[in-house]
Amino acid sequence: MLEVSHLSKTYGSNADATPAVGDISFKVARSEFVCIVGPSGCGKTTLLKMLCGLLEPTSGEIVLSGRRVTEPPEEMALVFQDYSRSLYPWMKVGQNIAFPLLRNKSLSKSERRERVEQAVEAVGLIGFIDKYPWQLSGGMQQRVAIARGLAYQPEILLMDEPFASVDAQTRADLEDLVLRVRHEYGVTVLFVTHDIDESVYLADRVIILSARPTTVQEELEIDLPRPRNQVTTKELPEFARLRAHVYRAIKRPGEVAEEATPVPEVSAKSS
Ligand code: ADP
Ligand code: MG
């Protein structure tokens, strides 16, 4: 469904040049849940911005459903890390979620309302549809952002460290929420995180990035049974094995790094 070939991005030029993404190629199949994991600053956000047509690659190409991406594709939705800046503070929850749907002229007002209500229900925010974002907790705001992505009914949902700034319990709840709605909506998900446990817990496949300039260091199939469970899945010896594998891979920066790279900063919660 999504094919990324030899993508690279260098910010600036000459002395100021920052090679953010070195050379990245991978594929995502329809309905697959792929996590991209890599150390902070390795170019994950840069990669996602290129994938959704917001940033022009220095080289390489992105093909979505057979078409080359040169501008934001209609079939994609993106959930950002910083929910406090991604919701419109002057719009109520329902209006925030409905906003991207206004682009779709073929949707009637009642169809729009139905989609919004469905998405609000999926993320457990019934009763908050007429609140403003600033009346909600951080975790709830992020659920609004997820609902907005779902209501749009994208073919592929891109998520950039969406739970990095919520507390651990909320994070676990939101992880399970994403797994559940992904199952219900059958959406393809490309989920970026620096959290190793999270990547193994969520994904069908984990793509491990090297330090900058970023390349794909390894792709790892995650064949843990579904539905997954925060306690029983993480107790499985296979979970521990996969987690340790990703952890070790990230500890050793890829040989392709041209500049001296400190040991990447990664978070690995003890499970
Ligand atoms: P990550 O999301 O993995 O933390 P980013 O994609 O945000 O990494 O950034 C990768 C590298 O590119 C970092 O060194 C960052 O400082 C640099 N960078 C990101 N955005 C810009 C920009 N607009 N201009 C110049 N450098 C940038
Ligand atoms: Mg980032």
Nearest atom in ligand 1 to the alpha carbon of residue 39 is: 3
Question: Which of 21-30, 178-187, 261-270 is modeled with the greatest confidence?
Answer: 21-30
Query: Ligand 1: which residue has its CA nearest to atom 25?
Result: 11
Query: Ligand 1: which residue has its CA nearest to atom 5?
Result: 43
Task: Tell which residue, 161, 9, 170, has the closest CA to residue 80.
Answer: 161
**pLDDT over 70 (residue 262):** no
What integer is the mean pLDDT of 26-34? Answer: 96
Long-range CB contacts for residues 202-206, cutoff 8 Å, separation at least 24: 202/33, 202/35, 202/175, 202/178, 202/228, 203/33, 203/34, 203/35, 204/32, 204/33, 204/34, 205/32, 205/33, 205/34, 205/35, 206/34, 206/35, 206/36, 206/37, 206/242, 206/246
What integer is the mean pLDDT of 255-269? Answer: 48
Q: Give 114 Cα–ligand 1 centroid separation in angstroms.
A: 38
Q: What is the pLDDT of residue 257?
A: 43
**pLDDT over 60 (residue 253):** no
**Residues lining ligand 1, judged by CB closer than 6 Å?**
11-12, 18, 20, 38, 40-46
State in Å, rounded, how far the first CA of the chain is from the last one: 33
Instruction: Give the model confidence (pLDDT) of 96-142 as tens digits.
Output: 999 999 988 888 999 999 999 988 988 889 999 999 999 999 889 98
CA atoms of 101 and 112, how far apart (whole Å):
7
- Greater confidence (60 vs 124) lies with 60
Nearest-ligand number for the alpha carbon of 159: 2
Q: Give 111 Cα–ligand 2 centroid separation in angstroms.
A: 34
Crossing angle for the helix pair 168-185 and 138-151, to the nearest 10 degrees: 10
Q: What is the pLDDT of residue 84?
A: 77
The average confidence (pLDDT) of the chain is 89
**pLDDT over 90 (residue 184):** no
**pLDDT over 60 (residue 10):** yes
- Where does the pLDDT of residue 153 fall: very low under 50, low under 70, confident under 90, or very high at 90 and above? confident
Nearest-ligand number for the alpha carbon of 161: 2
Q: Give 196 Cα–ligand 2 centroid separation in angstroms.
A: 15
Q: Give 50 Cα–ligand 2 centroid separation in angstroms.
A: 13
